[in-house]
Amino acid sequence: MQKLTRADLLTLEAYHEQRAALRAKVLAHKARRKVFIGAHAGLYFEDRLTVQYQIQEMLRVEKIFVGSAIQEELDAYNPLIPDGDNLKATFMLEYEDVVERRAALETLRGIEREVWLEVDGQPRVMGIADEDLERTDETKTSAVHFLRFQLPAATAAAFKAGATVRMGIEHPAYRHALTLPEETRTALAADLD
């Protein structure tokens, strides 16, 4: 998938005028790309459109219009765009209650290294976590991680051909698995071109 450049971004004024329509389009797109593994672990699979929207929102909120600052945002977010042989996701541990979240983040240290994807007939692929910086320390994990699922060629081919895809987490304190719905599998298969 091609990375974004400044030419792909709207000016702040143009984005302001088109924001409502773009937001509706992106939210519908994102709905097909999210996977909840159990009640508290969400994977939000990124692609060129989701990253473009995130950058546009950052530029809007921060009122960024200087070329060098725009390039910094592109440099920060472009690594989230899949490369054609992988899937990339924002992994979030979601607990509404602050006390419950704090306790869970202590118990779930290392969970980001226990997320897997399995395409029918192929070996399991473990997510590679937080390549930009470590988000777990001696006492707790972070509520947000970034995962890359690097797929061998045969796994990617089976995924694109329509094989069943399962995902799960094998952490001692959090074990859940599911089969991806066809709508989600199809949406993610498009990342493998």
Beta bridge partners of 119: 165
CA nearest 15: which of 49, 47, 57, 48? 57
Question: Does residue 180 contact residue 165 with C-beta atoms inside 8 Å?
Answer: yes
- The mean per-residue pLDDT over the stretch 158-167 comes to 98
Higher-confidence position of 139 and 1 = 139
Question: Does residue 52 contact residue 22 with C-beta atoms inside 8 Å?
Answer: no
The alpha carbon of residue 27 and the mean position of all alpha carbons in its chain are separated, in whole angstroms, by 14
β-pair type (115-119, 165-171)? antiparallel
Return d(Cα 101, Cα 107) in angstroms, integer.
10
Q: What is the DSSP letter of 4?
A: P
Amino acid (1-letter code) at residue 25: K
pLDDT at residue 84, as a whole number: 96
Confidence of residue 182 (pLDDT cuts 50, 70, 90): very high
pLDDT at residue 62, as a whole number: 94
Burial profile 84-97: b = 16 or more Cβ within 10 angstroms, e = fewer: eebbbbbbbbeeee
Determine what percent of the chain is predicted with pLDDT higher than 90.
93
pLDDT at residue 131, as a whole number: 75
Confidence of residue 74 (pLDDT cuts 50, 70, 90): very high
- The mean per-residue pLDDT over the stretch 148-162 comes to 98
pLDDT at residue 138, as a whole number: 86
Return d(Cα 127, Cα 113) in angstroms, integer.
6
For 97-147, write each residue's pLDDT tens digit: 999 999 999 999 999 999 999 999 999 999 999 877 778 788 899 999 999
Secondary structure element (H or E) that encloses residue 115, with its range = strand 115-119
Q: Mean pLDDT over all residues of the chain?
A: 96
Confidence of residue 48 (pLDDT cuts 50, 70, 90): very high
pLDDT > 80? residue 188: yes
Domains within the chain, CATH numbers bracketed: 1-31+48-81 (no CATH), 38-43+85-193 (2.60.40)
